[in-house]
Structure 1
Amino acid sequence: MNIIAQCSFLILLFDLISSNQDAVTCSSTFKLINQQSNDRLHSHDVKYGSGSGQQSVTGTPNADDVNSYWQIDGNDCERGTPIKCDSTVRLIHVTTKKNLHSHNFASPLSHNQEVSAYGEDGAGDEGDQWRVVCTTRNDYWLRKDGIRLQHVATGKYLHITGDTYGRPIHGQKEICCYQYANSQNIWKVDAGVYMQPSTEPLSSTRDDQSNSRPQSSSNTDHFDDEL
């Protein structure tokens, strides 16, 4: 193998290993930032005054609020397993232990589809399921990439509007589900605690014919920035 071929192979191998280490993994906890508005997906023990009356979900510009942490439910996958594109996940609000949820109620401000936090200690229903829609050609949900979360039951996308609430959540933005994919429903993970994935390299491009699922070989937590 000549020197050019050797260098090309080493670069490819480095990219594959880097992708492995940078994958979002099962049971990880993080913040989700809307790529267009820079608001964090947020919830708190404040119920909607209309619609379902369930716990509200909003967008907040406050980077330090502990109520903006979400965890991928570890009951649906093995801890530390990288999340594949098009996988179905549930997200648990860390502070209140309720699931990110949507259903056929109108959202309070824009009258799109309401998004709420629902259930107790991870227990909920089919309205808690979200499909990870990658915006790149990677096989896996990588921390550097924007993704969309598509509500499985209704097919609509987790979305932020330009509408802002008054009291008691003054300045926070409305979160809803929207029928069409656009720039207002792209999200990116932020600071959090990421479970260590397998050290086996992952493919850097999608392989629709592959049904293999990498297994975790380590339970070491990876700390990034805060939490």
Structure 2
Amino acid sequence: MGILRCNIIASSSPILIFISSCLFGQCLGSELSFVTCGSVIKLLNIKHNVRLHSHDVRYGSGSGQQSVTGVTAVEDSNSYWSIRGTRDDLCHRGAPVKCGQTIRFTHVNTGRNLHSHYFASPLSSNQEVSAFGEEGEGDHLDEWTVQCGGSVWKREEAVRFRHRATDALLSVTGEQYGRPIQGQREVHAMSSPSQHSLWKAMEGVFMKPSDTVAFREHIHTEF
């Protein structure tokens, strides 16, 4: 296993402050039964009860890119991801995410996209999953297709995310890191569907079309 390289960064993101206040009150779109474009959410791996997480800690092997892990902590700002479209598949703010739609997940704190490629993951030697790009812009390896059972991604539904370029599924199988991220689980991608690749939308801000103006006004007023 390669040693993880850690850089400490400070973040005072307006969107995170807004999310924090939202979680103690009523979130935008909290009554929606489906997941929407522009939402900022946490994703729970159902099998292992960990949330998809990233931070400014780089892999010491493989790609050397920013690591992606699973954490048991519920209240962790590094587990928020923004749902965005791709250059070829637009995702209009507030529109329901469709089953079969290709999207990007952008890590809110670092601005890097959920990414995969044919590097081996550090612990299990499955396909590495990392965070890549700058300010939400990376490449075609940041694209994931939502696999769900109906017409749209429902919030209570267990879904899978298939990496468009490699056809592998976002997964967790339980391997745990040591220092400096002791106890966090390895997130990787695997070719075959299983209980390890089921995810559910959890905490966050679920945007509606009518919420767009209110959201922008809040950010403008506060900052």
Q: Normalising to structure 1: TM-score of the pair?
A: 0.77
Cα deviations by residue, 1:165-218 (Å, 9 ceiling, x for unpaired): 00000000000000100000000010100001xxxxxxxxxxxxxxxxxxx466
**Amino acid paired to 2:197:** N
1:110 counterpart residue number: 124
- Name stretches of at least 5 consecutive residues in structure 2 with no aligned partner: 1-30, 216-223
| Inter-partner Cα distance in structure 1 for 2:111 and 2:173 | 25
RMSD (Å), alpha carbons: 1.6
2:45 counterpart residue number: 34
Answering whether residue 78 of structure 2 is matched by residue 67 of structure 1, we say yes
- Structure 1 position 74, deviation (Å): 5.5
| Inter-partner Cα distance in structure 1 for 2:170 and 2:186 | 11
The question of whether the paired residues in 2 share the 8 Å contact of 1:26 and 1:83 is answered with: yes
Match of 2:151, SS state, is coil
Matches within 5 A, 1:41-60: 41-60=52-71
The question of whether the paired residues in 1 share the 8 Å contact of 2:119 and 2:128 is answered with: yes
2:35 counterpart residue number: 24
Q: Which of structure 1's runs of 4+ aligned residues deviate more than 2 A? A: 216-222
Match of 1:145, SS state, is coil
| Cα distance change of structure 1 residues 221 and 194 upon mapping to structure 2, 3 Å threshold | farther
- Structure 1 position 158, deviation (Å): 0.1
Alignment length (residue pairs): 182
Equivalent position to 1:145, from 148, 153, 157: 157
The question of whether the paired residues in 1 share the 8 Å contact of 2:81 and 2:108 is answered with: yes
- Structure 1 position 77, deviation (Å): 1.3
1:91 counterpart residue number: 105
| Inter-partner Cα distance in structure 2 for 1:178 and 1:165 | 19
2:212 counterpart residue number: 219
| Inter-partner Cα distance in structure 1 for 2:139 and 2:83 | 15
Answering whether residue 142 of structure 2 is matched by residue 128 of structure 1, we say yes
Bigger-Rg structure (1/2): 1
Q: Normalising to structure 2: TM-score of the pair?
A: 0.78
1:159 counterpart residue number: 171
Match of 1:57, SS state, is strand
